[in-house]
């Protein structure tokens, strides 16, 4: 299963870099959720299913929902500054 582990490690790193470097906040949040789900798979491969469950439920699920909610709030508040956000 070495190829699966290598694939997971590489994808995890790529997702992390993309999430951090993404200029669009919405895309960054979605990538963060993807990162959390991949991380849960990594925990399973590391034989830590307890942490995998918690990561999938809290790290990817609830944190993702909270971040999306925050994003909606920010968009509502900064109606005019939408283009600036896309650039920054």
Partner 1 sequence: MNPRTVCAAVMCGMLVGLLGLAITMRPEAVITLPERVAAELSRSGVSHPVTAVLLNFRSLDTLLEIGVLLLAVVVAYALRETQADPADRMGLDNRLLHAVIAWLFPLMLLVAGYLLWAGATRPGGAFQAGALLAAAGVLLRLAGIRPSDFAHTLGARAVLVFGLAVFLAVGLGAMAVGGHFLEYPPAWASPFIFGVELALMLSIGFALFSLFELAPPHPVSNKGARERSET
Distance in Å, CB of 3 to partner 1, minimum: 22
Which of 14, 66 has the CB closer to partner 1?
Answer: 66
* Residues in touch with partner 1 (CB under 8 A): 24, 26, 49-50, 52-54, 57-58, 61-62, 65-66, 69-73, 75-77, 79
| Least distance CB 16 / partner 1 (angstroms) | 15
Give the Å distances, CA to CA, from 34 to 8, 11, 55, 72.
12, 10, 12, 19
Q: Cα 14 vs. chain centroid, distance in angstroms?
A: 11
Nearer to partner 1, 8 or 44 (CB): 44
Please give the Cα distance from 81 to 16 (Å, whole number): 26
């Amino acid at each position: 299963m070495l190829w699966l582990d290598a694939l997971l490690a590489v994808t995890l790193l790529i997702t992390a870099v993309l999430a951090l470097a993404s200029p669009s906040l919405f895309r960054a949040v979605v990538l963060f959720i993807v990162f959390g789900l991949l991380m849960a798979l990594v925990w399973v491969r590391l034989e830590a299913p307890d942490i995998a469950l918690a990561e999938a439920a809290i790290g990817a699920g609830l944190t993702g929902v909270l971040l999306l909610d925050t994003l909606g709030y920010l968009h509502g508040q900064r109606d005019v500054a939408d283009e600036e956000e896309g650039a920054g």
